[in-house]
A = this chain, B = another copy of it.
Amino acid sequence: MTTLIAVSQQPALSPKAEQTRQAIAEAAMRLFRRDGYDKTTMRAIAQEAGVSVGNAYYYFASKDTLIQAFYDGIQTEHAARAARALATETTFAGRLHGVLRAWLEVAAPDHEFAGQFFRNAAEPTSPLSPFSEESAAAREASIRLYRQVVEGSDLKLAPALRAELPDLLWLMQMGVVLFWVHDDSAGQARSHALVEKVVPMVDRIARLSRLPVVRGLVDDLLELMVALRSV
């Protein structure tokens, strides 16, 4: 299943308009990367793109909205890089590790910049929140990735867990991202260490998930997820 993911939801713009839109988005990206999110003004973006300030607002509802492009970029690149890992790795741990490391590598160049606008994603009401309605498409694409991690692997699981595991792994990625954003170690070494340690742990838990004792704990967890969805 390799449907082209139609990320855009705009009502189809004329070629010229699309070009303007692109120019603004790219100018913004360029300046965000160069000067950081806060230091980049809308006036500067407009000037860099060769349009007026108002024009930028014709295409983008707010300054925040402009970083949606950044999100999409990371997401796309991550999917591609993760696919390479999934093509070679066959073990669960290997696949999970590959996908997580892919994310760290893709995001690395934008670490500093990411910290600056992370707050926008953190706000519950923001469309940029990973839990928002608006980012449902991206979220589901990401979860699909983790479904591939599970399904392509040698892992034997209780069916109930198998169904929920992709969601849980996505949640784990959110945790890694959260850690990464706060990680000020050189080259995000601590984030890499986290992934290095967490992957074998998850692998072990998953493999033990059919043993009586662990099984009980996993059932608790699944029950929790079901309960939260229904409230």
Contact = CB atoms under 8 A, between A and B. Distances in A.
Interface of A: 115-116, 118-126, 129, 131, 181-182, 184-185, 189-190, 193-194, 197-198, 200-201, 204-205, 208, 211, 213-214, 216-217, 220-221, 223-224, 227-228, 231
Residue of A119, A205, A221, A223 contacting most chain B CB atoms (<10 Å): A119
A220 B193 contact: no
A126 B231 CA distance: 34
A113 to B, nearest CB: 12
A207 to B, nearest CB: 11
Stoichiometry, as copies per complex, reads 2
A224 B211 contact: no
25 contacts: A115-B124, A115-B125, A116-B123, A118-B122, A118-B123, A118-B124, A119-B119, A119-B126, A122-B122, A124-B182, A124-B184, A131-B182, A185-B231, A189-B231, A190-B228, A193-B231, A197-B223, A198-B224, A201-B220, A201-B221, A204-B217, A205-B217, A213-B213, A213-B214, A214-B217
Contacts of A124: 115, 118, 181-182, 184
A197 B226 CA distance: 11
A36 to B, nearest CB: 11
